[in-house]
């Protein structure tokens, strides 16, 4: 097995709780571990609701948010202690596309500007013609043409076009990994397939891996190979996407999947669900299992510690729940 290209070791990020802060500290991410391999190229989904820590994780990986503890290693080097050269290499290999396809454009410049920046900084072309060709090539990959895109201002393009241009920009660098933070949430439903299809093609034809961050399990099921489900900063379950969706093990994941509204009017939600008031759940006991207040299978035991990830059967399917503790005596 090849070396992982990106290793996240015990990543923890805490906000607030300092000397002058009356609120208890918010643990956005706790002891998160993940290894991302570049061969074979794959789409790894980081799924979670708001407050799960997925955005924190994305920002940390992209170098925007130093961790409180733990490390993010790129080819063995901690990304927050890289020198300039190493940083540049990292940026070339790990790129991103974001949720809001408007915000990521500088309204002052034409679309051409974002490509100029990338060409210049990473030395992607020696002459103007080479640069033009490289840009055209990238745009064609996403189904666009330079003459209809480059001279326009961002507000003159549609949301789907803007998002595709962002993918083209990332592709120009031929990265190993693209962090896609909710790339289709702000795009119309009928156009989402176009972007997701591009992601699949990049994986299959260009061997680019993705870290697909989303709250929408349906799209994750359609394109994800592996999945990690976060809940309040902890990994609740991880493994092959199909396994998790078809056979969820962690009670939270079971609840989550059961709550997805089926687009079939003859199949309504099975039971009524009742949640304890949500404000109780956030600042509960930091040492217990995060899901305790809502868990239909909770035990005494679960109040004492956050369960670690246990393997389910012999596959790479793991769930952080004492129900799967092989040593538990019931």
Partner 1 sequence: MTTSSTSAPLPQPFRSARARRLNLSWVNIKLAIGATMILAVLLFGLIGPFFWDTELAYVGSSPRNLPPMWAEKGRADHPLGSESMGRDMLAQLIVGTPSSLKVGFIAASIGLGVGLILGSCAGYLGGRVDTVVRTISDSVVTIPSLAVLVVIAAFVKMTDTTVMALILALFAWPGPTRVVRAQVLSLRERGYVRMAQLSAASVPEIMFMEMLPNMLPWLAASFTGGISGAILGATGLEVLGLGPTRVPSLGMIINYATTASALLRGMYWWWFPPMLILMIIFTGFFLITIGLDEIANPRLRGVKA
Partner 2 sequence: MTNVHMEIPKVLEVNDLSVHYLTPRGAVIAANNVNFYIRQGEIVGLVGESGCGKTTVAMAILQMVQSPGKIMAGEIKINGQNLLDLSEAELRRRRWRELALVPQGAMNSLNPVLKIKEQMGDAIAAHEPIRGRALKERVLELLDDVGLPARVYNLYPHELSGGMKQRVCIAMAIALNPPIIIADEPTSALDVVVQRVVAQTLLDVKRRLGVSMLMIGHDMGLQAQMVNRVAVMYAGNLVEIGPVEAIFEAPQHPYTQLLIEAIPSIDERKPLKVTEGLTHDLRNPPPGCIFQFRCPLVREACLEARPPLERVAADHFVACPIYRYRRPA
Contacts to partner 1 by CB under 8 A: 62-64, 87-88, 91-92, 95-96, 98, 100, 102-109, 114, 117-118, 121-122, 155
176 binds, among partner 2, partner 1, none (CB under 5 to 8 A by kind): none
279 binds, among partner 2, partner 1, none (CB under 5 to 8 A by kind): partner 2
Rounded Cα distance, 96 and 90, in Å: 12
Binding mask 228-247 for partner 2 (x = CB under 8 A): --------------x--x--
Q: Which is nearer to partner 1, 57 or 236 (CB)?
A: 57
Q: Which is nearer to partner 2, 194 or 309 (CB)?
A: 194
88 binds, among partner 2, partner 1, none (CB under 5 to 8 A by kind): partner 1
Angle between helices 159-172 and 112-122 (to 10 degrees): 10
Q: Which is nearer to partner 2, 77 or 281 (CB)?
A: 281
Which residue of 80, 102, 269, 283 would you call a contact of partner 2, by CB under 8 A? 269
117 binds, among partner 2, partner 1, none (CB under 5 to 8 A by kind): partner 1
> Does 43 engage in binding with partner 2 (CB under 8 A)?
no
71 bridge partner residues? 9
Least distance in Å: CB of 103 to partner 1? 3
Q: Which is nearer to partner 1, 19 or 271 (CB)?
A: 19
191 binds, among partner 2, partner 1, none (CB under 5 to 8 A by kind): partner 2
Least distance in Å: CB of 296 to partner 2? 13
* Strands 26-36 and 6-15, bridge-based pairing: antiparallel
Angle between helices 112-122 and 84-93 (to 10 degrees): 130
Contacts to partner 2 from residues 202-231, by CB under 8 A: 215-219, 221-223
∠53-225-315 over CA atoms, to 5°? 90
Rounded Cα distance, 323 and 327, in Å: 10
Using a 10 angstrom Cβ sphere, with 0-12 exposed, 13-18 middle and 19 or more buried, the burial of residue 63 is middle
105 binds, among partner 1, partner 2, none (CB under 5 to 8 A by kind): partner 1
Least distance in Å: CB of 94 to partner 1? 9
Which residue of 16, 39, 109, 260 would you call a contact of partner 2, by CB under 8 A? 260
- Please identify which residue in the block is written with the tokens 């949301």: 159
Q: Which is nearer to partner 2, 219 or 235 (CB)?
A: 219
Q: Torsion angle of alpha carbons 204, 208, 209, 212, nearest 10°? A: -90
Q: Which is nearer to partner 2, 3 or 148 (CB)?
A: 148
> Does 83 engage in binding with partner 2 (CB under 8 A)?
no
Interface residues with partner 2 (CB under 8 A) are 49-50, 158-160, 188-194, 196-197, 200, 215-219, 221-223, 242, 245, 255-257, 259-266, 268-269, 272-275, 277-279
């Amino acid at each position: 097995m090849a070396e992982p290209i990106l290793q996240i070791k015990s990543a923890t990020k805490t906000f607030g709780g300092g000397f002058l802060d009356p609120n208890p500290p918010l643990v956005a991410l706790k002891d998160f571990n993940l290894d991302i391999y570049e061969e074979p190229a794959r789409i790894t989904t980081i799924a979670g609701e708001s407050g799960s820590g997925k955005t924190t994780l994305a920002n940390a990986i992209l170098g925007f948010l130093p961790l409180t503890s733990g490390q993010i290693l790129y080819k063995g080097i901690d990304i927050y202690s890289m020198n300039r050269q190493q940083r540049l290499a990292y940026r070339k290999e790990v790129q991103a596309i974001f949720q809001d396809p408007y915000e990521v454009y500088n309204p002052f410049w034409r679309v051409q500007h974002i490509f100029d920046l990338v060409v210049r900084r990473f030395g992607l072309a020696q002459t103007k013609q080479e640069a033009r060709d490289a840009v055209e090539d990238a745009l064609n990959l996403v189904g666009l043409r330079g003459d209809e895109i480059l001279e326009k201002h961002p507000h003159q393009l549609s949301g789907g076009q803007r998002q595709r241009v962002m993918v083209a920009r990332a592709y120009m660098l031929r990265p190993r990994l693209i962090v896609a933070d909710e790339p289709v949430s702000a795009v119309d439903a009928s156009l989402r397939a176009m972007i997701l299809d591009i992601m699949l093609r990049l994986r299959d034809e260009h061997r680019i891996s993705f870290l697909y961050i989303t709250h929408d399990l349906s799209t994750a099921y359609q394109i994800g190979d592996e999945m990690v489900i976060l809940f309040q900063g902890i990994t609740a379950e991880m493994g092959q996407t199909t396994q998790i969706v078809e056979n969820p093990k962690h009670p939270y994941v079971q609840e989550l999947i059961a709550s997805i509204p089926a687009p079939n009017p003859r199949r309504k939600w099975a039971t009524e669900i009742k949640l304890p008031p949500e404000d109780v759940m956030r600042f509960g006991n930091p040492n217990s299992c995060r899901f305790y207040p809502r868990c239909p299978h909770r035990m005494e035991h679960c109040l004492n510690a956050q369960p670690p990830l246990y393997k389910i059967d012999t596959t790479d399917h793991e769930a952080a729940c004492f129900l799967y503790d092989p040593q538990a005596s019931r």
